[in-house]
């Protein structure tokens, strides 16, 4: 008497074509195999216990029936699956060495078998109808490859994934700036186009933008006086420039003025940096005399900055006031 035990696999693409094995007894002389109401696209009786069959196109779950001279019997159900599709990769780039988790979103992914990164393959670790998680495999070198999924329902469309090289830095300019932040740094190097984060002294940069694989602009955050590490993170890894930027505190200055003994009627102002500050002050010095328009004067020497301006006034006039900015 005809008896059926099972069908393997019990699911396949809605377009048909999945080779299935039907197991049971008394298959000799079988005349038909049906998937629902449709005959198999083809079948072959291997022996009294085994039939190979190819489902036609279909949808949903349908009963599988075998007909022999002894009658017909139902073996079970075959589930038609739709082609998988991908809509997004998160992230869409990662290091050449792999190891990072990539999320793939789409549809009809629940029977995923493999995820292809170009010629490399990976096995999904978490699967649902609309999401896969997979660990990116290592590859030989940087480049962009197609990513697609193979399921029991078929092969998905392709999305692009970039294997990024580790970043390197060859230059940072300027090397110093105020503790208030806001300095725009020009960073040169390689592997900078996939930048994801930048910190200066452990704090996130105010902003950053990669203009090419070799050029990155960074706006510094506020900091504390002294050297600060510059850390650049990209899809390919991270690079640290130890002490790559120096925060400078504002330098206090002292100003003094007196008549210039060598020139009658002139006043000379001297501006110096107050310790521990060093350097030559810059800016302007204005000599303000009561009753007259304040007069800016140019620096005349390096070192302690000096400037002189005419100061013609009556002996009874108030003292001249010197202002440094």
For 218-274, the pLDDT digits (tens) are 999 999 999 999 999 999 999 999 999 999 987 676 766 666 555 555 666 677 766
Beta-ladder partners of 102 = 134
Q: What is the pLDDT of residue 206?
A: 98
Neighbours of 249 (CB within 10 A): 13
Please state the rounded mean pLDDT for residues 6-19.
Answer: 91
Q: What is the pLDDT of residue 4?
A: 83
Q: What is the pLDDT of residue 172?
A: 97
Q: What is the pLDDT of residue 249?
A: 82
Residues 278-293: tens digit of each pLDDT: 666 666 666 555 555 5
Residues 119-177: tens digit of each pLDDT: 999 999 988 999 999 999 999 999 999 999 999 888 999 999 999 999 999 999 999 99
E strand map for 26-84: 32-35, 38-39, 42-47, 50-54, 61-68, 71-81
Return d(Cα 15, Cα 81) in angstroms, integer: 9
Instruction: Evaluate whether 231 touches 240 at the Cβ level (below 8 Å).
Output: yes
């Amino acid at each position: 008497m005809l008896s059926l035990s099972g069908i393997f696999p019990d699911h396949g693409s809605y377009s048909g074509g999945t080779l299935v094995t039907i197991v049971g007894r008394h298959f000799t002389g079988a005349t038909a195999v049906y998937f629902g109401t449709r005959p198999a696209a083809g079948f072959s009786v291997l022996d009294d216990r085994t039939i190979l069959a190819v489902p036609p196109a279909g949808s949903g779950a349908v009963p599988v029936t075998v007909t022999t001279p002894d009658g017909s019997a139902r073996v079970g159900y075959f589930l038609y699956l739709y082609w998988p599709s991908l809509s997004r990769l998160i992230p869409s780039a990662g290091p050449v060495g792999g190891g990072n988790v990539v999320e793939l979103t789409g549809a009809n992914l629940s029977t995923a078998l493999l995820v292809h990164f170009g010629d490399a393959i990976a096995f999904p670790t978490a699967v649902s109808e609309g999401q896969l998680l997979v660990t990116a495999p290592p590859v030989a070198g940087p480049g962009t490859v197609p990513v697609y999924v193979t399921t029991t329902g078929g092969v998905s469309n392709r999305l692009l994934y970039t294997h990024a090289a580790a970043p390197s830095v060859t230059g940072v300019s300027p090397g110093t700036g105020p503790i208030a932040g806001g300095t725009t740094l020009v960073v040169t190097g390689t592997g900078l186009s996939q930048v994801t984060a930048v910190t200066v002294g452990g704090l996130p940069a105010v902003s950053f933008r990669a203009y090419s694989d070799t050029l990155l602009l960074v706006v510094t955050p506020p900091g504390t006086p002294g050297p600060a590490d510059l850390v650049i993170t990209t899809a390919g890894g991270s690079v640290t420039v130890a002490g790559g930027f120096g925060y400078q505190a504002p330098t206090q200055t002292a100003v003094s003025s007196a008549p210039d003994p060598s020139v009658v009627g002139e006043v000379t102002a001297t501006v110096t940096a107050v310790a521990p500050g060093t350097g030559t002050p810059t800016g302007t010095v204005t000599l303000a005399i009561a009753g007259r328009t304040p007069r800016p004067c140019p620096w005349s020497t390096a070192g302690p900055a000096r400037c002189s301006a005419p100061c013609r006034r009556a002996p009874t006039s108030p003292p001249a006031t010197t202002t440094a900015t």
